[in-house]
Amino acid sequence: MIKPLPRPQRAADAAVIPYTRQHIDADDVAAVTEVLSSDWLTTGPQIAKFENAVAAYCGAGYAVALSNATAALHAALHALGVGPGDRVWTTPNSFVASANCASYCGATVDFVDIDPHTYNLSAARLEEKLAATDRAKLPKALVVVHFGGFPCEMERIASISRRHGIAIVEDAAHALGATYHGAPVGSGAFSDATIFCFHATKSIATGEGGMVVTNRDDVARSVRLFRSHGITADAKEMAERHPGEPWRYEQIELGFNYRMTDLQAALGSSQLSKLDAFVERRRSLAERYDAAFADLALQLPYKDTAAASAWHLYPIQLLGERRGARRTELYETLLAHGIKSQVHYIPIHTQPYYRAQGFKAGDFPAAEHYYEGTLSLPLFYDLGEVDQDRIIAIVRASIPSRLA
């Protein structure tokens, strides 16, 4: 059920418009204040409450909260047995964490080029790459990223991957609140695990924070152990019996301190109650952009009846000659008018760390072409229509008509 929220107010005329920002209300403040007055600040009852709420929202069996989404990606791959000597494939069009998580496990990273319409990992390119790869060099896991909040072609990707025994992790950092074939992203219908992000810029905010959602008991158990130093106090999991020592715990594997705090979890639960309203508002603003830019020489975000985006981003792509230079000009013009935009993303394989591993410009041409002309416009719950009209007017003055 969508919780009613106050209508966003326009900013003052001189105010800077960020490309995104969180929405925090009195209910959120009260939820955190209550924890500050409780016996728990770190790992307490709010963690399980938040986990259960996210699992229920997604229709999944388990949810495990972590300190951030990068930790969640690392823990998910570890739980799926990814380690030294293994290979993990992902998309070049994402934040570097989607690839780094495999390196943390000691695995080798490679990429699959994107679909030029959705900007997500291309199922067609995946099938081609798998067919051209020796069986001994197939990936153990695939990290698919729902870029901008629009779900990947998961049914086809899962069908292709399962033929080769490849595990799938959905990097849904942008996609909490999105749906695919009518089911929430995170339901686990086409993957082994899904991760969500609760950074201040995401669908709901806990400051920092992440979640692994899964239907696999073994994955959930592994992530819980991994997030807390590999330590258990469950007698059934301990290697030895310790009669007369009820305080006993054992480290049974090497883990990390990836725990979320009760403060973050309380904020997350409060924010989750407003998620549908947040997504609906973003969708409405995206539709206003669509209508305003329909006649311009731009490629607008892709839509499909099979999927509903969470609208984390509104990326436009400039078309025609000098698109890269004109993108820079538009970025600078918006900034001069107090409007902040952003570029999502510099292709991961072009970063110096990955170039040192042998990747180079030209390896994934669709991702590189997209990057050259893309710009993400402001999109967030509190963006008022008057301020959005300021953004629209500048874009319209900077971009020619398709008929020009």
Q: Is the peptide bond before 345 cis (omega within 30 degrees of 0)?
A: yes
The length of the chain in residues reads 404
Please classify residue 269 by burial: count the beta carbons closer than 10 Å to its beta carbon, then call 0-12 exposed, 13-18 middle and 19+ buried. Answer: buried
Rounded CA-CA distance 313/370 in Å is: 15
- Give CA angle at 307 (278, 93), nearest 5°: 85
Per the annotation, the verdict on 140 as an active-site residue is: no
Of 3, 202, 236, 303, which is the active-site residue?
202
Rounded CA-CA distance 362/357 in Å is: 15
Rounded CA-CA distance 397/404 in Å is: 13
**Residue 89, beta-bridge partner list:** 110, 142
SS3 150: coil
Q: How far lies 149's CA from each of 179, 309, 330, 336, in Å? A: 9, 5, 24, 28
Rounded CA-CA distance 376/298 in Å is: 12
Rounded CA-CA distance 347/114 in Å is: 11
Please classify residue 169 by burial: count the beta carbons closer than 10 Å to its beta carbon, then call 0-12 exposed, 13-18 middle and 19+ buried. Answer: buried
In sequence order, what are the residues at sequence separation of 6 or more whose Cβ sits closer than 8 angstroms to the Cβ of residue 17?
Answer: 11, 338, 339, 340, 378, 383, 387, 390, 391
Look-up: residue for tokens 């947040």? 278
Render 180-193 in DSSP notation, one character per residue: ETTEETTS-TT-SE
**DSSP secondary structure letter of residue 105:** T
Q: Which residues are catalytic?
A: 202
